[in-house]
Amino acid sequence: MGERLNLIDAHGRTVNYARISLTDRCNYRCLYCMPERGVESIPHSQIISYEEVLFLVGWMFRAGIRKARFTGGEPFVRKGLIPFLHRVNETVPDMKIALTTNGSLLKKYAEEIRALRLAGINISLDTLNDEKFSMITRGGMLSEVLLGIDAIADFGIPIKMNVVLIRGFNDEEIPDMLDYASNRGILLRLIEFMPLDNEVWAKGRYISSFEVVEKLSKLADWTPVALKNEDSSPIGPAKYYANESTAQRIGIISAVSSHYCESCNRLRVNSSGMLRPCLFSNSSLDLRPALISRNSEELFKIFTSALNMKPKIGVKQSMDESRHMVQIGG
């Protein structure tokens, strides 16, 4: 494939963003993300190698993808992450690369992170309370995440704090989270709890984005003003609001109550190289043989099929074992 391609799906949407999971393993066990018993790990031999991911990212760039987000599981638990990211920076310099992490290992790798060219780091942090943090992550330590955030806060890398809102667990913490984020120049994003996993999903725990906006309006010092798309960069599934008096921005991700499918610009690749056309689709396409043989033409065919499979609106399918977010990559 010499010429640049445009990845446009059957509904006219341009795909220019890929989420790539580098591992299905994680050092946390978040209640909403995986069952208590854990999930069966993919054997190491089936995990896409860094060389294969490099080839994939290079191909994706030539195919019009401009941003790749590396996720997991927890990307920092995969050995060699930092050298791999350096190689992406070197070999595909114009690809924007970003990370989604639970933040637990940020302090350990802070100096190495500083040397990378990262377009952003999203940190999942659902509560600022030690005990609740340990409970939701099944054993994680809040202090390690907070120290990690402080360690990288002045690197100039845009940081987002992603919070999955769960009724009765963290919905009363929104004012504290707004303060925490504002004091560190972090963008807070509140995410609707998604019913991907039958074992942990409970309707009563779900809070819609409409309710969040209502909650914001009721805060003494918050008047949320919806930002127009062009003001609410970066584009994506979040709707952005600004506080009228302070201009602090907040993102609300409503994957459940109001689909952002119309403007969906993404594809997902899991850690065994399965290309998932839509977060909510159960079918995926195997990239691994094409990656192993470095076959660009075959990749093009598979991506074309995936684009044709992208539904206009993603509909939650019946649950199966591979529906845990830790395996999909979020």
Q: From the CB of 145, what's the least distance to ligand SF4, in Å?
A: 10
Q: Does 73 participate in binding ligand SF4 (rule CB under 6 A)? A: yes
Q: Does 140 participate in binding ligand SAM (rule CB under 6 A)? A: no
Nearer to ligand SF4, 243 or 271 (CB): 271
Asked if 279 and 264 touch (Cβ cutoff 8 Å), the reply is: no
Structure tokens at 174: 């929104």
Residue 34 binding partner per list ligand SAM, ligand SF4, none, with a CB distance cut-off of 5 to 8 Å that depends on partner kind? ligand SF4
Residue whose C-alpha is closest to residue 26's, from 11, 10, 42: 42
Structure tokens at 206: 């779900």
Residue whose C-alpha is closest to residue 85's, from 119, 38, 60: 119
Task: Give the count of beta carbons closer than 10 Å to the beta carbon of residue 35.
Answer: 15
Task: State which of residues 32, 50, 59, 280 lies at the interface with ligand SAM (CB under 6 A).
Answer: 32
Q: Does 57 participate in binding ligand SF4 (rule CB under 6 A)? A: no
- Contacts of ligand SF4 in 123-142 (CB under 6 A): 124
Interface region with ligand SF4, contact rule CB under 6 A, candidates 55-63, 72-80, 172-180, 249-257: 72-80
Q: From the CB of 201, what's the least distance to ligand SF4, in Å?
A: 14
Q: Does 273 participate in binding ligand SF4 (rule CB under 6 A)? A: no
Residue 306: enclosing H or E segment and its boundaries? helix 296-309
The strands making up 285-286's β-sheet, listed across from edge to edge, are 224-226, 238-243, 249-253, 187-192, 159-165, 120-124, 96-101, 67-71, 17-21, 266-269, 274-276, 285-286
Residues in the site for ligand SAM, rule: CB under 6 A? 26, 32-33, 71-72, 74, 100-102, 124, 162, 164, 191, 193-194, 196, 325-326, 329-330
